[in-house]
Amino acid sequence: MSLDLTELTRFGRALEEAHALLEADRKRLEQRCDRASRADGTAGGPTQTLYGVTLMSGAMSQALTRVALAAGYSALGMDERAEHELVTARMYPVGFPSGADRMARPLGEATVQAMELIRDLGFFDAEISIAVDVALAAPQATYPPADWDEYERQRRSQAE
């Protein structure tokens, strides 16, 4: 069964737009991050903020690549491969939106736009939309934690 190329096109364009927005913010942050500040690994610091947006940009790039492969395989009649790529593209993207947990607040306008775009796209599981809302509502960067022992205690108590 062939995939809906119109739908894949819609997803692909949205993923590309999100990627472009995140890349714009990454470049802006990279210009503002001097060598001395890159040694600071605290949550919300320049290094973590740059790393966070880089993670999110990479996640969108990977998802877009998979959607493009799915569309290509579908157009060639390779339906099994197309379906595999689409399933892979829809998996929870590593670094999105968790990269925002590392970033200083307020988040850049382009980052917020990208996150809202992906949240509203309906491409990933609903869990992503919830995670985006949580990340957007966070008043400050939350990762990496200042106290790793406390962080581990909280994670264990949440799992119970």
Domain limits of the chain?
A: 5-159
**Mean of the pLDDT values across residues 96-122?**
96
Residue type, 160: E
Instruction: State the pLDDT confidence band at 153, using cuts at 50, 70 and 90.
Output: confident
Judged against a pLDDT cut of 90, whether residue 104 lies above it is answered with yes
| Cα distances (angstroms) measured from residue 78 to each of 1, 89, 90, 93, 140 | 9, 17, 19, 24, 46
Question: Which of 82, 96, 72 has its CA nearest to residue 15?
Answer: 96
Judged against a pLDDT cut of 80, whether residue 72 lies above it is answered with yes
Question: Which of 131, 125, 138, 149 has its CA nearest to residue 56?
Answer: 131
Instruction: State the pLDDT confidence band at 38, using cuts at 50, 70 and 90.
Output: low
**Mean of the pLDDT values across residues 72-97?**
95
Judged against a pLDDT cut of 70, whether residue 36 lies above it is answered with no
